[in-house]
Structures are given as structure tokens and as C-alpha cells.
């Protein structure tokens, strides 16, 4: 781990977790909650979760054991001093404020840091710590993420938006869906590669997996008994087939989230082209992103750091 300000994924012992079966709470969270995530990533993660090779709660426990937590957000506190001593930072010009923490958003975004990476709450806390510390000039968010849970994404984007110090996004691979929701809230977006770096996937999805036939094949029959007055409780589950009425209801629940996503991006990127939203969740490489007002520059980490210095001047 490169430091507390650098949220690189914590290594997880997958052979150990492979012996665990995916349990209902984890499946419910992954497959029934609304996600702002690039579908390509979701499709790759789904088989791992179903096979039990990725245990969200196990990864969360391992992360809690291996990761130090912030004890205080007070500027100048012993906790902040320890954080800054270990942080992955770049020194700016010689002045009282000269440190530029590089905070990574890499991998699947979740609120509490499942899927082997730190959570959006952790990242929001680090940004608040940086904003309160007089030694910090500004922040670079290094992003390579296909998105993730809606829960926590709006919070992180708002923390970024309200940061008094400049925040610059540096997109290495992709900033898709929830990751772009956050990137759009920064003051400037730098994309590393003209063709290999991507942004977009502005949309929301929920995945339903009907396990009833698989359970039946294994000799198991699940019966859900609902109390009177609870006939509509937990209809979106993995052991009962969906009907068209329920699909319409779930879609109606997700539509306001998608609308909020678009409104947030439009507010943060006033020059963005309507064409971006007409693609209904399309991805754009750096060249197209600049043309459509989704990003500001093609460059490397040094460009992002230099932009923080320029904005802080």
C-alpha cells in the first residue's frame, strides 16, 4: 500500500475465499441494488460473485484488518500528521501549502470498500482531511473504475464539489458511470491516453438473477411466506421470477437516479454536448470526450499535478 491517501486495492487471498459460498445478503446487494456501472464490468464480476470466488463481506473484513482508519479530521491533529507522513503525495512549490495528495479510485466503487478496494466513504474522508490541512495545496483523483454502487456516489461527488481546494481528476483507464459522476464534480479532467482512456456510461442498472431452476435442480424448493399487508415485500429477489409489472416498477424507481446523475453532470460540466446523453449510456475515448465537453486535457499525472498548482495559485 502506497500510503493512506492512495487507495490502491488491498490484496485478498482469493484461494481462501474461494471455499466460501456467496450468501444471500451479498447476492442481494450485488444483483438487486441500483448500480451506476459500466455493463462490461458488471458482466465480468457477476460470474465471480455467483461462483463464490468473490466474497464481499470477506473482502470487507480483510480490508478492515489491514487498513488504518482516520481517527480525527482536525487539521494539525496527530492523526492528520500520521496520514500526511505516510501519504502518496507530490510536493508543490515551496510554500506553507505544498503537498498534493494523489487519491486513487480504482476498481469497483462501493460505499464501504468491498470488492478489494476502499469505499467512497473512505475517499470522501480523505478529501475532507486534505481540505482541512493547511499543508495541502490541492488533490488529484487518479481514476480507473467502471463505476459501482449508487449508494455513496452522490455523497462523494458532493464532497469533491464543495472542496475549497482544487481537485483534478486524472483518468488512466476509464471513469465510467459512478466514477464519471465523481470525476465530473472535479475542477478539471485529464485523460491519459487519446484512445485507451474512456469516460461516460451515464446511466443506472439493476441486475436480477433467477436461481429458481438451479435450486430446483439441486433438490431445493424455496417458499416465501409474506404476512398480511406485506404482499409486495421483497418481490425483487433471486428465487422468484420477475413479471412485467415488477420490471416496470423497478425501472420507475431507477429513473429518478438516472435523472439526478444527468443533472449533476450537466451542472458540473456546463459545456457538455447533448450528444453524450443521446447515446443513452455510451462510452467516449479521450479524443471524443474533449470534443463533447466531457474532459479538458490529454496528459499524464504531471499534467494533473501542474493543473492543481495552477488552480491553487
For 259-271, how does the pLDDT look when each residue is reduced to its tens digit (9 = 90+)? 999 999 999 999 9
Rounded average pLDDT over 147-155 = 93
pTM for the whole thing? 0.71
pLDDT computed for residue 131 by the predictor: 96
**Residue 20 belongs to some domain of the structure:** yes
Q: Provide the Cα torsion 287, 290, 296, 299; round to 10°.
A: 0
Mean pLDDT of the chain: 78
**Residue 45 belongs to some domain of the structure:** yes
Most confident of 8-17, 94-103, 150-159: 150-159
pLDDT at position 51 over 90: no
pLDDT computed for residue 90 by the predictor: 58
pLDDT at position 76 over 60: no
Calculate Rg over the CA atoms of the chain: 21
**Residue 293 belongs to some domain of the structure:** yes
Rounded average pLDDT over 250-260 = 95
Residues in Cβ contact with 3 at an 8 Å cutoff, skipping those fewer than 6 apart:
86, 87, 88, 89
CATH value at residue 287: 3.90.226.10
pLDDT computed for residue 305 by the predictor: 96
**Residue 79 belongs to some domain of the structure:** yes
pLDDT at position 95 over 80: no
Short-list 196, 222, 187, CA closest to 295: 187
Rounded average pLDDT over 152-162 = 96
The packing angle between helices 24-32 and 56-66, to 10°, is 100
Residue 31 domain boundaries: 14-208+270-312
Rounded average pLDDT over 102-127 = 88
Alpha carbon of 263 to those of 61, 190, 200, 250: distances in Å?
A: 36, 22, 14, 21
What is the tens place of the pLDDT at every residue in 203-217?
999 888 889 889 889
Give CA–CA dist 45/30, Å, rounded: 9
Most confident of 104-118, 228-242, 281-295: 281-295
pLDDT computed for residue 41 by the predictor: 53
User: Does residue 307 carry a catalytic annotation?
Assistant: no
pLDDT computed for residue 241 by the predictor: 87
**Residue 255 belongs to some domain of the structure:** no
**Residue 165 belongs to some domain of the structure:** yes
pLDDT classification of 89: cutoffs 50, 70, 90 = low
> 155 and 124 in contact (C-beta within 8 Å)?
yes
Residues in Cβ contact with 256 at an 8 Å cutoff, skipping those fewer than 6 apart:
none
pLDDT computed for residue 306 by the predictor: 96
Domain count, the chain: 1
Q: Which residue has the higher pLDDT, 73 or 273?
A: 273
**Residue 29 belongs to some domain of the structure:** yes
User: Can you name the residues that pair with 99 across neighbouring β-strands?
Assistant: 91, 136
Instruction: Identify the active-site residue in 2, 16, 214, 233.
Output: 233
pLDDT computed for residue 83 by the predictor: 41
Q: What is the largest CA-CA distance in the chain?
A: 70
String of b and e for 11-35 (b: at least 16 CB within 10 Å)? Answer: ebeeeebeeeebeeebbebbbbebb
Rounded average pLDDT over 31-49 = 53
pLDDT computed for residue 18 by the predictor: 30
pLDDT at position 234 over 70: yes
Instruction: Identify the active-site residue in 177, 197, 201, 264.
Output: 177
pLDDT computed for residue 146 by the predictor: 94
Percent of the residues in the chain that have a pLDDT greater than 90, as a whole number: 58
pLDDT computed for residue 134 by the predictor: 93
- Upper half-sphere CA count for residue 122 (Cβ side, 13 Å): 26
User: Does residue 280 carry a catalytic annotation?
Assistant: no
pLDDT classification of 113: cutoffs 50, 70, 90 = confident
pLDDT at position 151 over 60: yes
**Residue 246 belongs to some domain of the structure:** no
pLDDT computed for residue 245 by the predictor: 93
Amino acid at each position: 500500500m502506497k500510503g493512506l491517501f492512495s487507495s490502491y486495492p488491498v490484496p485478498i487471498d482469493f484461494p481462501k475465499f474461494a471455499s466460501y459460498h456467496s450468501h444471500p445478503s451479498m447476492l442481494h446487494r450485488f444483483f438487486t441494488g441500483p448500480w451506476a456501472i459500466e455493463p462490461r464490468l458488471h458482466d465480468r464480476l457477476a460470474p465471480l460473485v455467483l461462483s463464490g470466488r468473490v466474497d464481499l463481506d470477506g473482502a470487507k473484513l480483510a480490508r478492515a484488518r489491514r487498513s488504518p482508519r482516520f481517527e480525527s479530521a482536525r487539521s494539525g491533529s496527530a492523526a492528520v500528521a500520521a496520514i500526511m507522513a505516510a501519504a502518496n503525495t507530490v510536493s508543490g512549490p515551496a510554500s506553507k501549502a505544498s503537498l498534493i495528495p494523489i487519491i486513487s479510485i480504482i476498481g469497483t466503487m462501493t460505499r464501504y470498500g468491498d470488492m478489494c478496494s476502499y469505499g467512497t466513504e473512505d475517499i470522501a474522508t480523505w478529501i475532507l482531511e486534505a481540505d482541512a490541512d493547511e499543508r495541502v495545496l490541492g488533490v488529484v483523483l487518479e481514476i480507473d473504475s467502471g463505476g459501482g454502487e449508487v449508494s455513496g456516489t452522490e455523497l462523494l461527488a458532493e464532497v469533491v464539489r464543495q472542496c475549497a481546494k482544487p481537485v483534478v481528476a486524472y483518468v488512466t483507464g476509464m471513469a465510467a458511470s459512478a466514477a464519471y459522476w465523481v470525476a465530473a464534480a472535479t475542477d478539471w479532467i485529464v485523460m491519459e491516453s487519446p484512445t485507451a482512456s474512456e469516460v461516460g456510461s451515464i446511466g443506472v442498472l439493476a441486475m436480477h438473477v433467477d436461481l429458481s431452476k438451479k435450486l430446483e435442480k439441486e433438490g431445493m424448493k424455496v417458499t416465501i411466506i409474506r404476512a398480511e399487508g406485506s404482499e409486495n415485500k421483497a418481490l425483487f429477489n433471486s428465487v422468484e421470477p420477475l413479471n412485467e409489472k415488477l420490471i416496470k416498477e423497478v425501472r420507475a424507481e431507477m429513473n429518478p437516479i438516472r435523472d439526478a446523475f444527468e443533472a449533476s453532470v450537466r451542472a458540473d460540466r456546463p459545456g457538455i454536448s447533448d450528444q453524450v446523453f443521446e447515446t443513452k449510456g455510451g462510452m467516449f475515448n479521450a479524443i471524443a470526450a474533449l470534443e463533447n465537453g466531457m474532459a479538458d486535457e490529454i496528459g499524464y499525472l504531471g499534467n494533473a499535478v501542474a493543473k492543481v498548482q495552477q488552480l491553487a495559485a
